[in-house]
């Protein structure tokens, strides 16, 4: 079995790392380059940077941040936020990103997935999907969860795979920041339906939650933010516990 990955996520706003609950009430969590260096040293398998304030004007700033992160870390990292073209991806990869994550732009223009895969290869294209349950159905949302769409999680995820994306980052907005555990039933269904890796996001609050998402949720990787940023869970301790629970991880 492939080793399960632990991925700290850094939400970036105006050049700082922030964290909220259910996508709101943001508070400062530190300098992203410093945090990236710490996580790399502590044994994180990968990092994800999401620029939640991304605009055309700030694209240059994001590229500079990517460059500084690439100088400091020796693990793969993914960058997302406001990416909507082949040119955007080109700039970020040239500055040192290993993968890019697209979300709203993929929903609005699904052909973008095909275009990016054709240009850069599926291995560096991650499609992020934010969804919440509405009347029993998992519905895809955009713009940090503010705008509901007609797309349903499982059918959209299947289309994303068919268009060539290499990975899916699924965030349950119902679980995000609550620290009550991941959306394991939905994750298990995604894993059963798809052949590409699924990254679980939203809800990490304890080490047991990571075990649960790998066992019950069948996730390939687990992403978390505040439990790492505010030192509630140390990555080394987490990996040791996962290994004791029979889950393969890189120590």
Q: What is the pTM of this model?
A: 0.93
5-244: CATH class: alpha beta
Radius of gyration of the chain (CA): 17
The pLDDT assigned to 98 comes to: 98
Tokens (6 digits) for 46:
């990968």
The Cα–Cα gap between 145 and 196 comes to 24
The pLDDT assigned to 54 comes to: 61
The pLDDT assigned to 55 comes to: 54
The pLDDT assigned to 58 comes to: 61
- Give the Cβ contact number of residue 14 at 10 Å: 10
By three-state DSSP, how is residue 131 classified? strand
Asked whether the CA dihedral 188, 202, 14, 30 is positive or negative, the reply is: negative
Ramachandran region, residue 14 (left: φ > 0; alpha: ψ -120 to 50; beta: rest): left
The pLDDT assigned to 188 comes to: 98
Q: In order along the chain (251 residues), what is the average pLDDT of each group of 10 residues? A: 93 78 63 92 96 66 91 96 93 97 96 98 97 95 86 98 98 87 98 98 96 98 92 96 97 91
Tokens (6 digits) for 12:
């970036």
Q: Active-site residue numbers?
A: 11, 130
């Amino acid at each position: 079995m492939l080793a399960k990955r632990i991925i700290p996520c850094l939400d970036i706003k105006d050049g700082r790392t922030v964290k909220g609950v259910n996508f709101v009430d943001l508070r400062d969590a530190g300098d992203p380059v410093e945090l990236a260096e710490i996580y790399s040293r502590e044994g994180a398998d990968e990092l994800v940077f999401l620029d939640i304030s991304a605009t055309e004007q700030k694209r240059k700033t994001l590229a500079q941040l990517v460059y500084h992160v690439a100088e400091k870390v020796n693990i793969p990292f993914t960058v997302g936020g406001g990416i909507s073209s082949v040119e955007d991806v080109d700039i970020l990869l040239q500055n040192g990103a290993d993968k890019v994550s697209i979300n709203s732009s993929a929903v609005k223009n699904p052909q973008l997935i095909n275009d990016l895969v054709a240009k850069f290869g599926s291995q560096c294209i991650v499609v992020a999907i934010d969804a919440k349950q509405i009347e029993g159905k998992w519905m895809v949302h955009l713009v940090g969860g503010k705008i509901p769409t007609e797309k349903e999680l499982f059918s959209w995820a299947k289309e994303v795979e068919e268009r060539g994306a290499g990975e899916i980052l699924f965030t349950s907005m119902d679980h995000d920041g609550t620290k009550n555990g991941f959306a394991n039933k939905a994750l298990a269904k995604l894993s059963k339906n798809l052949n590409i890796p699924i990254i679980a996001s939203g809800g990490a609050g304890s080490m047991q939650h990571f075990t649960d998402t790998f066992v019950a949720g069948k996730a390939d990787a687990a992403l978390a933010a505040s439990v790492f940023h505010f030192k509630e869970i140390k990555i080394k301790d987490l990996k040791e516990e996962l290994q004791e629970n029979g889950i393969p991880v890189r120590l």
